[in-house]
Amino acid sequence: MRFEILMNILAMAVVTFVTRFASIGLLGDVPAGLGRFLKHVPIAILTALIAPALFAPNGYIALTFSNHYLLAGIVTALVAYNRQPPIVTMGAGMTMILVLRMM
């Protein structure tokens, strides 16, 4: 283990922990106005993490049939919308992307 690499890893660990602990450790009861905003954070985060990967996988918007991520995403979303358990939803999505890749 090289000293310089280890220092970098430790710095990443500290910074990451600080971002995780800052709100949880410092915030107690949240005012109602902020609470109304925070209630929407889960959906906002989940969407922001995946939308660019589906709609613009190569850095530009691709609403075409050659965009496998979007097609598989639509199939996955439809399965999830029918209240299937997560494992079924993910299985359907993964099957779809593999089939598209093979075609």
Partner 1 sequence: MQEKDFCKGVGDTIPLIVGMIPFGLAYGILGKSIGLTSGETIAMSILVFAGSAQFICLPMLMEGAGLAMVSFTTLLINLRHLLMGASLAPYMSGLSMPFKALLSFGMADETYAVTIQRAQAGCYTGAYQLGSNAICYLLWVMSTIGGVILGDYISDPLSWGLDFAMPATFLALLIPRLRDKASVIVCLVATVVSVGSAILIPGKWYIIIACLVAAMAGGLMGGKQDAI
Q: Quick one: the chain helix, strand, coil %, rounded to 5?
A: 75, 0, 25
Contact map string, positions 5 to 44, toward partner 1, x by CB under 8 A:
xxxxxxxxx-xxx-xxxxxxx-xxxx--xxxxxxxxxxxx
Using CB under 8 A as the binding rule, the residues of this chain from 60 to 89 that contact partner 1 are 60-61, 68-69, 72-73, 76-77, 80-81, 83, 85-87, 89
Place of tokens 């280890």: 6
Q: 39 or 66, CB closer to partner 1? A: 39
Measured from the CB of residue 61, what is the shortest distance to partner 1 in angstroms? 7
49 binds partner 1 (CB under 8 A): yes
Judge contact between 61 and 54, C-beta under 8 A.
no
Q: How far apart are CA 82 and CA 98, in angstroms?
A: 22
